[in-house]
Amino acid sequence: MNLLNNISVNPETKRKPMNRQGMESRWRHGSKASLLALGVLMVGVGFNSPAFAQDAEGFVTQKLPAPPPAEQIEAGKRVYFTKCVWCHGVEGSGDGPGADRLWPRPRNFNAGTFKIRHTASGELPLIDVDLLQTVTHGLPGSAMPSWEGILSEDQRRDVLAFVTMELVQDRSWQDEEFEELHVLELEKLAAQAVPPSAESIKRGSELVVENKCIECHGLEGRGDGNAFNLKDDWGFSIQPADWHKCWNFRGSRQDAYNVTNIFRTFSTGINGTPMPSFADNTTVEDRWHIANYVASLCERDKDVDIAGGNVTDEIAKALFEAKPRGIDPLTDKPKVNFVIPSKFAEGELPTDEHDERWKTVERRIVAIGGQITHKPRNFVTRIDDVWVRSLYNETQLTLMFQWDDRTKSVQVDEVDWDPYEVNLEDYGIVEQEPGGSKFEDDGMHPDSIAAKQNSYQVFNDGIAFQMPIKFQELPAPRKPRYFWGDEGFPVDIAKWTADGNLAAYEGVGWDQDLEDRDDFTEQLKLVKAEWKDGRWTVIITRPLKADYEEDTYIELGKYIPINFFVWDGHNGDVGRKMGVSAFYYLVLEPPIPTEAKWYAGLAAVGLVIVEGWILTRRSNRRKAQGNS
Classify strands 584-588 and 339-344 as parallel, antiparallel or unpaired.
parallel
Q: What is the mean pLDDT of residues 428-434?
A: 85
Cis status, amide bond into 196, omega within 30 of 0: no
The burial class, CB within 10 Å (0-12 / 13-18 / 19+), for 169 is middle
Listed residue (237, 245, 240) closest to 294, CA to CA: 245
How confident is residue 25, by pLDDT bands cut at 50, 70 and 90? very low
Whether the per-residue pLDDT at 8 is higher than 50: the answer is no
Q: Find the helix or strand (DSSP H, E) in which 52 lies.
A: helix 50-55
Whether the per-residue pLDDT at 207 is higher than 60: the answer is yes
Classify strands 560-567 and 525-532 as parallel, antiparallel or unpaired.
unpaired
Cα atoms in the Cβ-side hemisphere of radius 13 Å centred on 341: 13
Whether the per-residue pLDDT at 412 is higher than 70: the answer is yes
Neighbours of 412 (CB within 10 A): 10
Q: What gap in Å lies between CA 422 and CA 295, rounded to an integer?
A: 41
Is this prediction's pTM over 0.85?
yes
Q: What is the mean pLDDT of residues 491-520?
A: 97
Quick: pLDDT tens for 301-338: 999 999 999 999 999 999 999 999 999 999 999 999 99
Say which range, 320-329, 418-427, 611-620, has the weakest mean pLDDT. 611-620
Q: What gap in Å lies between CA 235 and CA 232, rounded to an integer?
A: 5
Q: What gap in Å lies between CA 24 and CA 7, rounded to an integer?
A: 24
Listed residue (353, 458, 361) closest to 415, CA to CA: 458
Whether the per-residue pLDDT at 21 is higher than 50: the answer is no
How confident is residue 622, by pLDDT bands cut at 50, 70 and 90? confident
Say which range, 3-17, 85-99, 361-375, has the weakest mean pLDDT. 3-17
Whether the per-residue pLDDT at 619 is higher than 70: the answer is yes
> What is the DSSP-derived secondary structure letter of residue 427?
G
Whether the per-residue pLDDT at 425 is higher than 90: the answer is yes
How confident is residue 32, by pLDDT bands cut at 50, 70 and 90? very low
The burial class, CB within 10 Å (0-12 / 13-18 / 19+), for 504 is buried
Q: What gap in Å lies between CA 340 and CA 586, rounded to an integer?
A: 5
Quick: pLDDT tens for 104-125: 999 999 999 999 999 999 999 9
Q: What is the mean pLDDT of residues 42-58?
A: 52
Considering only the C-alpha atoms of the chain, give the largest distance between any 2 of them, rounded to a whole number of Å.
Answer: 109
Q: Find the distance separating the first CA and the last CA of the chain, reported in whole Å.
A: 105
Say which range, 21-30, 262-271, 599-608, has the weakest mean pLDDT. 21-30
Listed residue (3, 144, 135, 166) closest to 73, CA to CA: 166
DSSP SS3 for 39: helix
**CA-angle at 269, arms to 264 and 270, nearest 5°:** 110
Distances (CA, A) of 144 to 83, 103, 134, 147, 464: 11, 11, 9, 9, 30
Q: What is the mean pLDDT of residues 20-32?
A: 38
Quick: pLDDT tens for 437-482: 788 888 889 889 999 888 899 999 999 999 999 999 998 888 999 9
